[in-house]
Structures are given as structure tokens and as C-alpha cells.
Structure 1
């Protein structure tokens, strides 16, 4: 009898469903899946029947999870819960050993999977690649590699981006440049931050061969959640221009930066735009613009197709610059 009992127990265990998180809604519906993140009033539940489902936090009655999750009741401090247990509507129980804690859902700012070393570390980014080969009266090879990433921990946010462009027409290089930028944000409260940034661009073809910029100034984060983000910053920059004939121009400028992205259609489509416009305080140029805008379509959770337009302009200088590029390519994101 004992072997038969053990066999029945093993079969029952094998046929039991895998543990899943459960969300109860105020209208009586119950959804199962895996809680990925809660931020900006939106709860993302990963399911095998509908992909990622985005729920309005105000519609959630209670929830439970067998995951270890970091629950934050303000912007900067969190409590690691070994599990979440169902409670009366409007509340949830944080299971922490012998002393479970019941909290109001309305008091929770974020829920995320804790990281091994830095609990509230959040890192995201993407790399886009575009290539174009044309064989006709004019043979053209065009390459464009773009990366952008952000990492957030507490009051600090790190921003890094870079780009490489190269175009060859009939064995003549018509575009060859690369750029890199790093910015560090220190948040003063939920929305306001102070930014310091470094930027560099090298061009092998244009008269303006080097651009260096160091800037600092205040910024404002309108929103930053699972459905997108939008921030602006006003900077005072020290810029250095170096031209192909050896001339140099050094000046201070006022700049305005923006960074926008928005997910649509269940996060399968992303609209994005970022850039900077600057006005020199001296008469070396009228203004400078460096911006891009585009769209990404997610093919999988990590792969996407993208189309974008880029504009770089320096107007009013001795050697004006005016470039517009359009590209279609493939990217990966995290």
C-alpha cells in the first residue's frame, strides 16, 4: 500500500498547477499570472493567456503572490516581503516571518522584484541597428548604431547614450561620426532633479570636427512609469567647437533638453523623442539643435523594429551644419 500511496502523491504533485500570483479586482474578477512591476498607478501582470496585462491600481481590491517582492510606500524606501497575502478589499498583507503587516493599497508607490545587491535598482535601455545597402548608379552603404540606457537607484539616476553613423557612396565616405553622452540626475523630490552632464562628438567629414560640452541645471520629471516617461531639463553649458582648419570656438550657452517615450497597444508600440536645443550667450552661432524622434514595434519581449528621424543643426556659425537622417532597423531592449 505504501508504494501505491507514494505514487498517487507524486502524480497529484505533478498534476498540480504551478504557483501563480492572483489579483482580485473590485468588480469581482480574479486574474492569475506573475506580477512584474507596479509603478505610476499601473500594475503589470504577465499571463500565459494574454501576455502582459496592465491594470489600473485603483481597480485592484487585493492581491497575493508567492514571490519575494520589494514594496515601497514612498519614493526612496522599501520593505522586502517574502510573499503577499490576500486581505480585505483595499489592503494587502506583507508576509515577513512571524510578523505579517497589513498595508493600504493606496499607500503603496511601487512593487518590484528586489535585486541581489541594490534592492530598488532599476535598469532599462535599448540598442538599435540600421543598415542600408544600395547598388545602382550610385552605390551606397549606410550604417547606424544607437544605444541608450538608464539606471535608477533611490534619488540617483544615471543616463548614458551613444551613436555611430557611417555612409559610403561610390567608395567615398560622406558621413562618419560618433557621439557619447553621460548625465547624472539627483532627485530633490518626486519630480524635481538636478542634472550634470558631459557630451562629446567626433566627425571625420564635416568642417565641425569636434564638439565638447559640460553642463548643469535643474530638471523636472512629469512622469516615469511602465507606460512611459517624460522629463525636461534646463542647462547652462560650456561648449567647445573645433574645426577642420584648426580654429576653435569656446562659449557658454543655455540649453533645453527633453526625453519622452510612450507605450501604446499593450506596450507593443513605443513612441519616442529626445534631444536638445541650445542658444549661445555669445555671437558664435544663432542656435544648435540635436534631436531624434521615432517609433519602435516590439516583435518579442526583447526584440523590436524601429523607424526614426534624426536632425542635427548648427545655425549662424562660420561653418553651418545641417544634417537630417532617416533610418529603419532592428533593436534589442531590456
Structure 2
């Protein structure tokens, strides 16, 4: 273009526009990423054989100890043989002592000592709690499965 600086003006305006949109996109992604943990609610329920009910979040079962996060008591470990019932809307992988695995949520069981693993809306399996050796949460949302990094550079 002419020597009057219009090309430089358009170039600077374009860089500002691109930079502004990139900054907006980055801000949006960060807001979503930071909001995801806040949206996670502690709505799982553990009922003990002594009648106590504890609301929180099932973190895992390993070595006969249930790792359970609560708002008021922090993270606690509950001996597996003290637990009568579990309920949760979150998805879990449940491993039995023979290696068999189930995937689903925990519905309300008909009696103590069993876990009702809800596989789909119309199918569920009852599992004797004494046979369960491991419970692992399954991260079901896009944002919790997302793992990586973002690198932005301008030249």
C-alpha cells in the first residue's frame, strides 16, 4: 500500500483483533476448567452398620479401606467391613476378588451388605460387598478427562 502507514494500521488492528479473540478464548477455557471442581457435589452416601449415615464423595476403595471425602471432616478412611450400604450417582469401576469388573453408579440396595451397581437405566447387578476389592471413580465429563497443556505463541 502507499507510504502513508495504512498497511501498518491494518496490521496492528488485525493483531489486536486476533490477540483479543485469543485472550477471550483462553479466559473462557480457564473459567470452565476452574468451574468444574466447584460443580462437583458431594452427594454420595455411606451407611454404616451402626446406623450412621455420612454424605460425601467416594474417592476409592483399596486394601479394604474406603477413602471418602466430606465437607466437615475432610478425607476419612472407613473400614470396608463396617459399611452396610453405598449410594452414588457418579460412575465407578468395581473390581471383585476374582477379577470380574462392573461399571456403573450405585443405586439404593434392597438390603445391607450388597451394592446395587446400576449399569444402564434398565439393568443393574447386585454385588456382595464382601467380594469387592477395589472401587475406582470413572471421570465421566469432558473437562475431567481433559489432560494436557496449552501453548500459545505469537510471532
**CA offset at residue 20 of structure 1?**
0.4
Q: Which TM-score applies when normalising by structure 1?
A: 0.28
The match for 1:103 among 127, 130, 139 is: 127
Tell me: higher relative CO, structure 1 or 2? Use CA pairs within 8 A at least 6 residues apart.
2
**Structure 1 segments of 4 or more deviating over 2 A?**
74-77
Q: Map 1:32-111 onto structure 2 (within 5 A).
A: 32-74=55-97, 76-81=99-104, 83-87=105-109, 88-97=111-120, 98-111=122-135
8 Å contact kept, 1:19–1:66: no
8 Å contact kept, 1:75–1:109: no
- Richer in strand (by share): 1
RMSD value, Cα: 1.7
Deviations 1:231-265 (A, max 9, x none): xxxxxxxxxxxxxxxxxxxxxxxxxxxxxxxxxxx
Cα distance change on mapping 1:103 and 1:75 into 2, 3 Å: closer
**CA offset at residue 34 of structure 1?**
0.2
For structure 2, the 5+ residue unaligned runs are 1-40, 141-155
* Equivalent position of 1:24 in the other structure: 47
**CA offset at residue 55 of structure 1?**
0.3
**CA offset at residue 36 of structure 1?**
0.1
**CA offset at residue 115 of structure 1?**
6.1
Cα distance change on mapping 1:76 and 1:114 into 2, 3 Å: farther
Equivalents in 1 of 2:43, 2:95: separation in Å? Answer: 22
* Equivalent position of 1:149 in the other structure: none
8 Å contact kept, 2:66–2:79: yes
**CA offset at residue 113 of structure 1?**
1.5
- Richer in helix (by share): 2
